[in-house]
Homo-oligomer: A and B are copies of this chain.
């Protein structure tokens, strides 16, 4: 790790742990994400990938360890052992403005049209004038190929269309870090290609990305590093070549990728 750059990582995760009641969803995760890096998180269903993402922007109040963005502790007022005090809503809001997120279940606002979903934060967070926000929102929708559906409510969009609105909503805000939770799960291969293109471009423009994905092809293609989670633990984190190469060292990773290899080498 740390092989990409020597400057301070943009996200530092130290000994992160998270329980749901007595279920241990994350244990002792330590991981850095560097500026402009694309980190893919892979792992079995229920291994804690979404939970990890949600801890990064403090949608889940993690109970042990630290998450730092540009050196600043996320969510809690102070590091150290629990009980800790959470930050005020306003301070948290300031932190979150730097972190965009695309949810696994999209979480669109059903009473707003596609365009309004995207424009909302542009107007009320970025403070853009309405006309400008609309132009920008339209551009974001165009990037994900959805210009013709801007007036639809989410309920009247197909699954893939909803997912693309969610992506457009996040990228329009141009945060410094983007968290994607399976951003292409509902997309067809062609669109996956397009979204991939958009992401590559964002990466080139210096955005940092953490992407949860089940599409190994996608991970192999776009990631600078791939982290493999299982049972709430970080099993390995390495460049994709090491992970997807013929036989990675770790038997668990190997087993995980087996079916994928079988099916995709048609």
Contacts and interface: CB of A to CB of B under 8 A. Distances in A.
Contact of A263 (B42, B193, B256): B193
Interface string A252-266: 000111111011101
A31 interface: no
Using C-beta atoms within 8 Å of the partner chain, give the interface range for chain A.
35 or more
A160 interface: yes
Interface stretch (A81-89, A127-135, A216-224): A216-224
A159 B48 CA distance: 11
A251 to B, nearest CB: 13
A233 to B, nearest CB: 15
A161 interface: yes
A90 interface: no
Contact of A216 (B105, B157, B189): B189
Contacts of A161: 45-46
A68 B166 CA distance: 37
A44 B260 contact: no
A45 B221 contact: no
B156 A20 contact: yes
B188 A185 contact: no
A112 to B, nearest CB: 18
A186 interface: yes
A264 B44 contact: no
Contacts of A221: 263, 266
A241 to B, nearest CB: 9
A7 interface: no
A244 interface: yes
Nearest to A220: B266
A169 interface: no
A36 to B, nearest CB: 22
A202 interface: no
14 contacts: A20-B156, A105-B105, A159-B182, A159-B185, A185-B186, A186-B214, A192-B214, A192-B263, A193-B258, A193-B262, A193-B263, A217-B260, A220-B266, A264-B264
Given A44-B188, A46-B158, 11 more contacts: A43-B188, A45-B161, A45-B191, A46-B161, A51-B158, A188-B256, A189-B259, A190-B258, A193-B260, A217-B260, A220-B263
Interface of A: 20, 42-46, 49-51, 104-105, 149, 156-161, 164, 181-182, 185-193, 196, 214, 216-218, 220-221, 244, 255-260, 262-264, 266
